Amino acid sequence: MYTALVLAAGHGRGAWPYGGVRQKTTLPVAQTPMVRRLVLQLKAVGVNDIVVVVGCGEGAVRACLADIAGLCFVRQASPSGCGDGVLTGLPKATGERVLVCCGDVVTSREALQALITADTTADAEATLLGAPHVPGLAVWESIDTDGSGAVHGVWNKGDVQSPRFAGMVAGDAALLQRHLEQSPGYVDNVGVGAMTPSENSLPAALNRMCRAGHALRCVVTDAYVVDVNRPWDLVEANRVVNRAFFAANEGVVLGKGASIDDSAHIPGDATVHLGENAHIGRGVIVHGDVVLGPGARAVDGAILGARANMGAHSTAREYGRIHDDTVVGPRNLIGHCAEFAGLSLERTLLWHYCCVTAVVGAQVDIGAATCCGTWRFDDRVREQEVGLHRETPPYHGGMAFLGDQMRTGVNVLINPGVRIGGHSCIGPGVILYDDVPDGQLVLAEQKHVVKPWGPERYSW
């Protein structure tokens, strides 16, 4: 029997402007918080003994798991690395083998099942889940493995031809604990000259196990694996999970009270899933597969792109347009010729001729004619600064990233890749080129030229 240790205690600073306001693992993926999705997947593959390690934003994690019975919560005193999180949770494990899962890793149930199957059939003391390397990632651990699956090392930013560690490992609880307790207090699975943080690293402990001669195996999944370290990773996680849903489902499914107006234009082969009391109304155009959650409405000529996903009680109306692969959170309103592409969280308003390509946080008010995201004139992706590190997003870097509970005035222009912190306000007419920290007001200054004017100017 396995005990799953779900790690959901970190600050998530690299995901700013989202990780600071809320616990990162509670950010939604296709309408479900990441950590909740992971716990439900564990239960679906038969792992019911689950310990959730909490810390920063503990209340948010507990809240989104409150209705799931049988969970054990344990608090990590300080966010000093995922290895320390595992040590915090291990005393609550009842099984001889543990399944350690980082709560910010988004993958499929099939990948979890493959890891468990490989661990139960292989003669190994630990089994790692691996995934193909993604060029351009800023954070990853490489698994040095051969064709037989034997692991010879786990290296921070090692050979890019090797699979990357997918944040999940099954193994002997006592052995894992012993090597985590041998941490020197810093990340030691790096090359010469690297500057490393002072923390207890799980991949570093796995590397020490290899050096000590223990048998470790790796199973590489061909399913999606997204480690949500950055805000653009959150977009990618939503995109792949949303697409996986449509790949696995087909046909028209209408919940109780759901309806589709006869005048709506929907392709005959589209997958259409409507939750209870959802409605596609008069003159609506749907370009492909679509999901509307309970109580969601697309009415009055709204335009929905292929694989649009609208959350519960959200509304698109009056020719509002939702683009392909866009996930709209619950209780959003998109209307009066507003266009939206990307991802939004809950209770957000986009109205009146705005054009937004972005991740939009919770309870955000987008002013009329606000335009953000899309592409720069040189078609390049903006380089981002994360702490003292500069990196170029491997995907979705052309979007803007708007934090929770911020707002814009009318006619605001937000350049591609700009990040705006939560609780901020961008005043009317501002053209924004640079990131805005949390809790800031940005106003435009204008210089006026005043000259005499009147009928004399027209030869009277």
How many domains is the chain built from?
2
Same domain, 163 and 273: no
Same domain, 184 and 200: yes
User: Does the residue 447 lie in any domain?
Assistant: no
The Cα 316–Cα 414 span in angstroms is: 23
Name the domain boundary from 199, 229, 259: 229
Q: Which domain holds residue 284?
A: 235-442
Predicted pLDDT of residue 114: 95
| Whether the predicted pLDDT of 269 surpasses 80 | yes
Minimum mean pLDDT range among 128-137, 304-313, 382-391: 382-391
Please give the average per-residue pLDDT across 308-328, as a whole number: 97
Predicted pLDDT of residue 20: 65
What is the per-residue burial (b if ≥16 Cβ within 10 Å, else e) of 242-263? beebbeeeeeeebeeebebeee
164-180 pLDDT per residue, tens: 999 999 999 999 999 99
Predicted pLDDT of residue 325: 97
Confidence band, pLDDT 50/70/90 cuts, at residue 389: confident
The Cα 130–Cα 122 span in angstroms is: 15
Please check whether residue 316 is in contact with residue 335, taking contact to mean a CB–CB distance below 8 angstroms: yes
Confidence band, pLDDT 50/70/90 cuts, at residue 309: very high
Q: What does the angle CA 427 – CA 431 – CA 435 come to, to the nearest 5 degrees? A: 85
Same domain, 43 and 101: yes
| Whether the predicted pLDDT of 11 surpasses 90 | no
Predicted pLDDT of residue 194: 72
The Cα 267–Cα 256 span in angstroms is: 23
Same domain, 215 and 251: no
Same domain, 264 and 312: yes
- As to burial, measured by CB atoms within 10 angstroms (0-12 exposed, 13-18 middle, 19+ buried), residue 406 is buried
Same domain, 336 and 266: yes
User: Does the residue 141 lie in any domain?
Assistant: yes
Same domain, 32 and 145: yes
Please check whether residue 329 is in contact with residue 311, taking contact to mean a CB–CB distance below 8 angstroms: yes
Same domain, 239 and 219: no
Same domain, 258 and 314: yes
Predicted pLDDT of residue 156: 87
User: Does the residue 32 lie in any domain?
Assistant: yes
- CATH number of the CATH domain containing 274: 2.160.10.10
Position 285, amino acid = I
